[in-house]
Structure formats: C-alpha cells, structure tokens
Amino acid sequence: MGKEKNENVIESSLKRKYKLQAKDVNVFYGDFQAIKEISMDIKANSVTAFIGPSGCGKSTFLRLFNRMNDYVDDFRMEGKIFIDNQNINKKKVNVELLRKQVGMVFQKPNPFPKSIFENVAYGLKIQGLKDKTFLQERVESSLKQVALWDEVKDNLNKSALALSGGQQQRLCIARTLAVEPSIILMDEPTSALDPLSTAKIEELIHELKYKYTIVIVTHNMQQAGRISDYTAFFYLGEIIEFDKTNKIFTNPEKKQTENYITGRFG
Amino acid sequence: MNNIRKNKIKDQAFKALGMLFTLFGVSILVVLIYNILHIGFTRISWDFITSLPSRKPEEAGIYTAIIGTLDLMLLTVIFAIPIGVGAGIYLEEYSKKSKLSSLLEINISNLAGVPSIIYGLLGLGIFVRYFNFGGSILAGSLTLSLLILPIIIVATREAIKAVPPSLKEASFALGASKWQTISNVVLPSSFGGIITGIILSLSRAIGETAPLIVVGAMAYVPFVPHSLFDAFSVLPMQIFNWTTRPQQGFAVAASAAILILLLITFIMNGIAVYFRNRWQKKLK
Amino acid sequence: MKIKEKLIELILKLCAFITILTTIGIITVLLFESISFFRSVSIFEFLTDTEWTPLFSEKHFGILALVSGTFLTAAIAIAVALPLGLTIAIYLNMYAPKNFRKTLKPILEILAAIPTVVYGFFALSIVTPFLQNIYPDLETFNSLSAGIVMGIMIIPFISSLSEDALFAVPKSLKLAAFGMGSTRFQTAFKVMVPAASSGIIVSVILAISRAIGETMIVAIAAGQQAQFTLDPTIPVQTITSYIVQVSSGDAPQGSLEYKTIFAAGLTLFLFTFSLNTISFWIKKKYQEKYE
C-alpha cells in the first residue's frame, strides 16, 4: 500500500514536467483505425515536430489536443489526453475554454472576411471582452509578436483578405495569440506559402517557443530539422520513433526512421 | 458519301429548329408584353392607382388591391423569414444524418411540389375555419408564408453550404460556441444568398392568386382594409376579377393592372439577381 | 452558457418542424373533410361517374369529369412544352455559342417567373381570338388555348432541368462520340439524351405535376363546365378551377358543396404526391450512375 502510494507520488511529479500527454491512445473513424496505441509526453516551452508520410495520422493526433476531431462524424477515441495534468475528455471539461488555452493554426490561411482588427479581436470578443482600449492593446501586441504590426498598423480596418498569403497566415497566428493560449498547434502552417513567407514564420516559431509550447505537423523534413527540439516520426497510425530532433536526424534508432529521413520512401 | 451528307443535313436542320424554338420562347414573351402594353398602357394613371374598385370599368382602380398586396407581403415577411431561415440553419448546421433529418428533407422537397391551391385548402381548413381568423389578411399571410417556406429554407441551406468550412474551423479553434460561429461567421457570409432567396420567394408570393381565392380574399372589396381581420384583396385577384368580366373596359383595366404587377415582379427579380451576383463575387 | 446554446438549438429545431406540421395539416384537412364527404357520396360513384354537377339541382359526383379536364389541359401543355423544352435544352447545351446561352437562359427563366394570372389573361384575351381566326369553331373557353399557354409557361421547367441533366453527362462520352465522327445531332440523340435520360424524365414528371396543379390559367381560359371529353375546342373544368369556382361563391361551411372541394383537392394531392415521389425515387436510383 505504502509502496504504491510512493510510486504514485513520483509518477505525478514526473507528470508535472509535461505540458501535453497522451496515454495509450487509439482513434477510430468508423471501422478504420487511424491511431494505434500511441503514448507521448511533450515538455513545456518546446517545439515538437510530427513528421511522416501523408495519411499516417499526424493531423488526427494533433487535433486530439484541442478536440477538433469532435466534429467528425464517426470519430471515436480510446485512451487519455492530458493537458497540465487534466484529462481533457472528461465530461465536465468546457471545450470552448480548452480551445482558448490550446490554439491552432491551419494549413491554408483562413482569415475571416472581416477587417484585420476584427480578425485578431475575434477570439476576445466572443469571450465577451468589449473594452475598446483593452482590445486595441491586445491586437497591437499580437500583431507585433508576429512582426505584422508595422505593415498593417495604418490599415487595421482594411479587409484581411487583401493581405498576401504569408501575411494572412501571420495574421491567423496573431489571431490565435490574442487569446493568450499556452499551447499552439500548427498543422502544416507553411505548406501553402512561398519560401520567403515560410522563412518568416519559421523565425516566428523560434521566438514564440519561449512563451508557448508548440506542436507542428510538417511534411518538410528540413523544416522539422530547423525549428524543432523534438521530433516524432509517424507511420500508419503509429509512432515509430520519438526523440530529440538532433538524434532523429543524425542517428535514428529505427531503420524505418532512417529510411524516411534519407528519402528512401514516403 | 450519301450517309454523311444526310447526317450533316439532319444536324443543320436540328440546329435551325433549336434556334427557332429558343427564339420562339423569347418572342412569346415579347408578344405577351407588347399586347398587354398595347391594351392597357394608356389606362395607367395616378387615378388608376388611387381609386377603389368599382362596378363601372372607367372608374375602377387598384388602390385596395395595392394596399392589400403591401399589407399581405409585410405580414408574410414577418412570419416566413424567421421560420424559414431558422429551419434552414437548423437543417444545415445542427441536424445530423439520421432518419429524422432525412424525413425532414424529403418532406420539404415534397412541400415544394404541392400545388399552391392545396395550400389554399390548408389555409381554409386551419386558419380560416379552425382558428376562426376568417377570410382575413392574417389567414392569407399565414397561408402564403407556409407556401413560400420551402423556397426560403432551400435558399438558406444553399447559402450556408457555400461558406467555406475552413472559416468555421477557425472560429471553433478560437473557442467560439456553435451559435457564436453561426452568428459571427456563417450568417454574415451567407447573407447575400439568403436575401436573394427571400426576395425571390416574395416575388413568387406577390403573384399568387389561387390560394388566396380559396382562403376567401374577396374579389370585390370597395374599401381599404384597416385591421388584420378585415377582408382584403390583392393585385392578382383584382386582375382575375376584372378578367372574368365581359366588358371591354375591364379588360383594359386588367391589362393596366397586369403591367403594374409585372413591373413589381421584374423589379424584385432584378434586385434578387443583383444581390446574388454581388454575393457570388464576394465568395470568390 | 450551455443553456443558451441548447435553447437556440431548440428554437431552430421547432422552426424546422413547422414543415412537418404543414404536411400533417394538409393531410388532416383534406382527409377530415373528405371522410365526411364520403359518408354522403359513395367512393364508387365518385370514381366512376362521368358527370360532376354538385352545384346543380341534379347532383352528380363523378371526379372523372374534372380529372379529364385536368389531364386534357396538362396533356396539351406537355405536348407543347416537351418538344420545345427538350429541343431548346439540347440546342443550348450542344449547339449554341456560350454567349448566346448565357443571355438566353435567364430570359427563358423569366417565362417561369410571370404570375399565372397574367398567363390566364393572355390565353383568354389574346391566344383564343388568335386561334379562332384559324379555327372559327373554337369556343371562347376551351382547353386548347389554356393548354398551349400552360405549355409555354412550363418550357423553362423542362429546358432548364434537362439542360442540367445534359450538363452532368461526363465530357468523355461526348468527346468519344465526336471522336468517332458523329455529328452533334447524332451525339445528342444517340449518346447524350440516353445518358441524361433519368434527369430528363424527372424534369418531365415534375412538369406534368406542375401542369396538373396549375389553377389560374385554366380558371380564366378553360371554362367552368365539367365535361368528360377529349375535345380541346370546348369548355372543360379542371380540379383546380372547380375549387376556385366554389371558393368564389358562397357555399356554407359543412355543406356538401363545401366538402366537394376537399375531396377534389385530395384527389389532386394524391396525383401530384405520387408524381413527385416517383421523380424523387428515379433521381435517387439513377443519380448514382455518374458518381
């Protein structure tokens, strides 16, 4: 009895190190199993990259952390997902509150057909925050964090759709930052952008990690190598290897990982 | 050689036939409008619009009918729009694939094909008799609202379908609730399409006669209705009434009234098309 | 506020359910009065008598008289609308230059937007006198004028829906036919129309349903004499114009005359419902072909 209690105490203090955790997760879409027995611990203030061929479950797994899969019809999950030690799938969890702590940036920039200001302020307004000064300050600081402020500060009322693709994506990131999440999930955020914009956003991710925990799905291995601290290699719904990025790219444990990294498949 | 030639002739002949038929369709429209203009144009005057109906063709006017049409349209709008748009939102955003939702959809599709006079019988049985509203504007507008409901629902659904799902995703990812997403993102984006559907449905309602005859719109109402429960007349009914009279003077009056009805109909359709084009451009 | 969200969903759900209430209302009203009607008049008489004279002193209640009027006018309408509508659809889809099609399609749609009372006036005051020049024995009220004008009104139904059906045929079929040296005419009738046949048939069924349910054109131009006939030059009465006739008069509620409009209405409803259901079923069954 006493021994078990000790183990539990040790286990939970270990848990506290981890911002995000997955335990024995299986995901099914109807009969199809998209995720097979995945467990993972992600540290706070790190950048973790998910790599692997298309359709291997990276996006699905990413979306478990902000429960965006809830909208898919046949979705079914087994296992547990923890954020700050809390099981996010418990009935009492307020999903909307969860999503304010866990932000998401999508593959194709999706600004609302509203003004730049309204886009960034959206997340705050739906929380009922109306104070004009507060909103203006928050919008400004968010746009500054994504290095967009100088470019748009005189045009905050212009439509967000008038911005270039790269600017729109940075706007979407600013929109996410405005609600002050602690975790940012990014689902191939630069795959629809030109190299220059991609570089700007990678630079941004570098800076953001000091304040946020970032998980990024990417098809671009070089990108994973450049910006991430940890990398997980997904294949057919399983994690083949999850380790420090350095190790994965220079001295992977598994042959499959090595084959993928060196381009022998996928 | 002969066969190829025969086929070529058939091809050209059909092409000519097609062009002929298509132009026939267009020219019938022209013939119709021209003839009615010819008969009735000179009858249109300010007097005509502001006079009450009369047993004498020269004195007859469409005032009651115009007021009735306006009142009826106003009430129909109040009933049909919230219910129609609400139903459209529910079907497109809330209801999940199930036997119930299939039933709802099939039912709406069926209602769209029910002849308008049947709606009149419905209105007669339920609003006029059972609820005792009598042959009144209230009964008439409730009946018309039910008639145009499927049109508004379908238009709302189509408009909502056209909103890119990525926008809804972005809203949810920021922590918005379902209704917040609908009211802040989906509805503003689908607004143009919904308005188009509403205007088109109203344009249809303005021209409806049969259900209103059954509900008891009086053909001869020589006074201006004042309350919801008064008897009333509408423009197409006035036209119908005059058309059935033998005197040539009434045929002239009918033509004049038709011109005004057509004008209203065309303007409304034109506005709807304008809105649709603007909205479709916005989507791109 | 989860309560607010649930409440909104409930309100919206109720809006959607009004449509179900509408259908229930229609069926209830029609059945209620019809059942009462059939207590006084036998169904056998209703279905087999060929005279319909509920408003006369010697009363007959044979729906066939009205049904014949309905079908006669509808048949004439389809005889006009089908060849014209289908030809126009094929022409616009396969022959006409793009700009021509772009301008003409909306103009044809206007034909469908004109209030039917206007068409009724047109039939009585312009078409009938015109036809009487050609055939002087044509009576003032007849099913020919009404049928022709109804047909014109229905052309856009057939032409638009058929054109959509033709448009949905995979281009590869069209190109294959052309590649073998077929003319547009041959391609149209040997490949395109058969391939789009389910859509075209649906458009025709819907057009028939529309014609059967049409009221004002026949009420104005076809007459008020219920006759069991196929003669297009004499007055007839359709189910719909009969209902209008009684509604314009003063049949007291609860009287037999009053109930006849519901029995007639029920008949009409059953016809159009069957047609709409058949077309829905055809669409469902055959639309999978190209998906």
Please tell me whether residues C31 and C128 are part of one structural domain.
no
Q: Does B7 touch chain C (CB under 8 A)?
A: yes
Residue C19 lies in domain: 2-40
Residue C291 pLDDT class (50, 70, 90 cuts) = very low
Q: Does C3 touch chain B (CB under 8 A)?
A: no
User: Looking at beta carbons, which residues of chain C come within 8 Å of B19?
Assistant: 91, 95-96
C112-153 pLDDT, tens digit each: 899 999 999 999 999 999 999 999 989 999 999 999 999 999
Q: What is the pLDDT of residue B243?
A: 92
Give the H or E element holding residue A7. Answer: helix A2-15
Q: What is the pLDDT of residue B3?
A: 82
Q: What is the pLDDT of residue C290?
A: 56
Chain A interface residues facing chain B, Cβ-Cβ under 8 Å? 66, 68, 71, 73, 96-100, 103-104, 106, 108, 110-113, 122-123, 126-127, 172, 175-176, 179
Q: What is the pLDDT of residue C234?
A: 92
Q: What is the pLDDT of residue C117?
A: 95
Q: What is the pLDDT of residue A97?
A: 92
Substitution target in C100, C111, C140, C185 with the highest count of B β-carbons within 10 Å is C185
Please tell me whether residues C30 and C161 are part of one structural domain.
no
Report the pLDDT averaged over residues C80-89. Answer: 94
Please tell me whether residues C25 and C128 are part of one structural domain.
no
Q: What is the pLDDT of residue B30?
A: 92
Residue C186 pLDDT class (50, 70, 90 cuts) = confident
Do A123 and B184 count as a contact with CB atoms less than 8 A apart?
A: no
User: Given a cut of 90, is residue A16 above it in pLDDT?
Assistant: no
Please tell me whether residues C200 and C232 are part of one structural domain.
yes
Q: In Å, how far is A253's CA from the nearest CA of chain B?
A: 36
User: Given a cut of 60, is residue B51 above it in pLDDT?
Assistant: yes
Please tell me whether residues C216 and C262 are part of one structural domain.
yes
Please write down the long-range contacts of A250-259, taking CB distance under 8 Å and 24 or more positions apart.
Answer: A257/A233
Residue A266 pLDDT class (50, 70, 90 cuts) = low
Report the pLDDT averaged over residues C211-231. Answer: 93
Do A99 and B175 count as a contact with CB atoms less than 8 A apart?
A: yes
Residue A10 pLDDT class (50, 70, 90 cuts) = low
Please tell me whether residues C76 and C165 are part of one structural domain.
yes
Average pLDDT, chain C: 91
How many CB pairs lie under 8 A apart between chains A and B? 61
For chain A, domain boundaries: 18-88+96-111+182-261
Q: What is the pLDDT of residue A20?
A: 93
Q: What is the pLDDT of residue B44?
A: 86
Report the C-alpha gap between C35 and C49 in whole angstroms: 19
Report the C-alpha gap between A211 and C20 in whole angstroms: 54
Do C107 and B126 count as a contact with CB atoms less than 8 A apart?
A: no
B6-27 pLDDT, tens digit each: 888 888 999 999 999 999 988 9
Which range (A30-34, B245-249, C86-90, C111-115) has the least confidence? B245-249
Q: What is the pLDDT of residue B53?
A: 82
pTM: 0.90
For chain B, domain boundaries: 2-43, 46-283
Q: Does C262 touch chain B (CB under 8 A)?
A: yes
User: Given a cut of 60, is residue A151 above it in pLDDT?
Assistant: yes
> What is the 3-state secondary structure of chain C?
CHHHHHHHHHHHHHHHHHHHHHHHHHHHHHHHHHHHHHHHCCHHHHHHCCCECCCCCCCCECHHHHHHHHHHHHHHHHHHHHHHHHHHHHHHHHHCCHHHHHHHHHHHHHHHHCCHHHHHHHHHHHHHHHHHHHCCCCCCCCHHHHHHHHHHHHHHHHHHHHHHHHHCCCHHHHHHHHHCCCCHHHHHHHHHHHHCHHHHHHHHHHHHHHHHHCCHHHHHHCCCCCCCCCCCCCCCCCHHHHHHHHHHCCCCCCCHHHHHHHHHHHHHHHHHHHHHHHHHHHHHHHHHHHC
CATH fold group of domain A18-88+96-111+182-261: Rossmann fold (3.40.50)
Q: What is the pLDDT of residue A14?
A: 53
Report the pLDDT averaged over residues C245-258. Answer: 83
Which range (A146-150, B77-81, C95-99, C204-208) has the least confidence? C95-99
CATH fold group of domain B46-283: MetI-like fold (1.10.3720)
User: Given a cut of 80, is residue C289 above it in pLDDT?
Assistant: no
B212-243 pLDDT, tens digit each: 999 986 556 667 767 777 778 899 999 999 99
Q: What is the pLDDT of residue C2?
A: 82
Q: In Å, how far is B196's CA from the nearest CA of chain A?
A: 20
Do A106 and B166 count as a contact with CB atoms less than 8 A apart?
A: yes
Q: What is the pLDDT of residue B261?
A: 95
Q: What is the pLDDT of residue A7?
A: 55
Do B82 and C15 count as a contact with CB atoms less than 8 A apart?
A: yes
Report the C-alpha gap between C248 and B213 in whole angstroms: 7
User: Given a cut of 80, is residue A17 above it in pLDDT?
Assistant: no
Please tell me whether residues C66 and C155 are part of one structural domain.
yes
Q: In Å, how far is C19's CA from the nearest CA of chain B?
A: 7
